[in-house]
Structure 1
């Protein structure tokens, strides 16, 4: 690995962790497509961001633990375990160009959904998905997307939006889920043979950036309009999605 490549990887991790500390999620959604544009093997990127996500979860989970919706968290964890092997199988059997292109399409869809979710939530007068069983497919999707893309938080974001969780419950439950699913996903990566020396070297170089981005995100979160900044974030996610489905991004 060259110094310039290490610097670019650390920068991608920094941006993703910064977004996570600002909004409660987003490090994988931002960092994974940025890493996919670099000459880093997909499996190394997946293992690295898995370790980064678990580290950030450990740093942030305790502040919101009292707001966690525990019955939902238990069901999410159980169904996430079932989904993890399917994501690992997909990562090993499906060509990386297909996974990268699918990642780009997913980012575009998720970014567009996120831009519209506030309008949709205002029109929804009551929580949807009241049946307890609805949490299971979202947990399963979290396991699949977590082990393949480190996107274990995205299905929970969608579920929490449809359930109309208040901000404290949303953030607390999401952070607790990141910790539990992060442990499961990282274990799956280890058992699935994704851990490499390069991944740990890049993780070691990224640790100072993780701490700095977490502190900076918490500080700026209190000073910047979250609504305006969130719109810019999702616009960037959509742009990154388009970059990934271009021939140069998928190569």
Structure 2
């Protein structure tokens, strides 16, 4: 563990935390691919981003509590619990190169979807998935993706888009879900043996950056149109996905 490696890890965590603070999600989607390019283990990356994500959620959830769609949040939390063990099994049984490649393909697909999302929404004039039971598979998927890749927010982002949540409800419900699922995912990482001493060291070094990113993200969100930054974010996600598919040496 060198000073230069620590600085690169802190930078990756900072960029992800900044994205979360600005847009309400996107931390793991940005940080995990960056960490995958560094010579640290997948288990260390997963547990580090799990702890960092929980920290950001703690810093941001309370300001929007009144906008949270609480019945949906409860259903998400319950089904997330059942998805976490499945994600841990997937992480342990699947070779790292398969996970990295799947992650790259997912990022390209997800980034492309988000870029055309606004055009799709213009076509849809009413909320989809009106039956609240639809939240169950999205919650389960959140648990699987959260424990395996720290992508616990992605299914909820898709669900909220299809439900056409307004911005306050979208951001607040997402952050509350991150807080609850973050506790569950981090506990799953501990029980699943993913915690490493390196992860705690990197987290300690990253904590000031996480706090700074939370403050800076709120500042930027209030003063610069988020739509423009969101477009850049998803373009970066696609580029990172492509990078993950390129051949490189083993860590």
- Relative to the length of structure 1, the TM-score reads 0.98
Q: CA-to-partner distance for each residue in 1:103-136, whole Å, 9 max, x for gaps?
A: 0011011101111111111110100001111100
C-alpha distance in 2 between matches for 1:224 and 1:74: 33
Separation of aligned partners in 2, 1:73 and 1:249 = 42
Query: Secondary structure at the residue paired with 2:39?
Result: coil
Corresponding position of 1:229: 229
The root-mean-square deviation of aligned C-alpha atoms, in Å, is 1.0
Distance 2:238 2:141 in 1: 21
Structure 1 residue 228, shift from structure 2 partner = 1.0
- Give the structure 2 partner of residue 62 of structure 1: 62
Give structure 1 regions of 4+ aligned residues with deviation exceeding 2 angstroms. Answer: none
1:117 and 2:106 aligned: no
Would you say the 8 A contact 1:17–1:214 is kept in 2? Answer: yes
Aligned equivalents of 2:126 and 2:169: distance in 1?
Answer: 16
Instruction: Find the counterpart in structure 2 of residue 29 from structure 1.
Output: 29
Secondary structure, in 3 states, of the residue corresponding to 1:247? coil
Could you list the runs of 5+ residues in structure 1 that have no partner in the other structure? none
Aligned partner of residue 66 in structure 1, secondary structure: helix
Q: CA deviation at 1:76?
A: 0.4
**Is the 1:138–1:156 contact (alpha carbons within 8 Å) kept by the matching residues of 2?**
yes
1:5 deviates by 0.3
User: Within 5 Å, which residues of 2 pair with 1:91-130?
Assistant: 91-130=91-130
Deviations 1:23-68 (A, max 9, x none): 0011100000000000010000000000000000000000111111
The residue number in structure 2 matching 1:174 is 174
CA distance in 2, matches of 1:65, 1:141: 24
Per the TM alignment, residue 225 of structure 1 is displaced from its structure 2 partner at its CA by 1.8
**Structure 2: gaps (5+ residues):** none
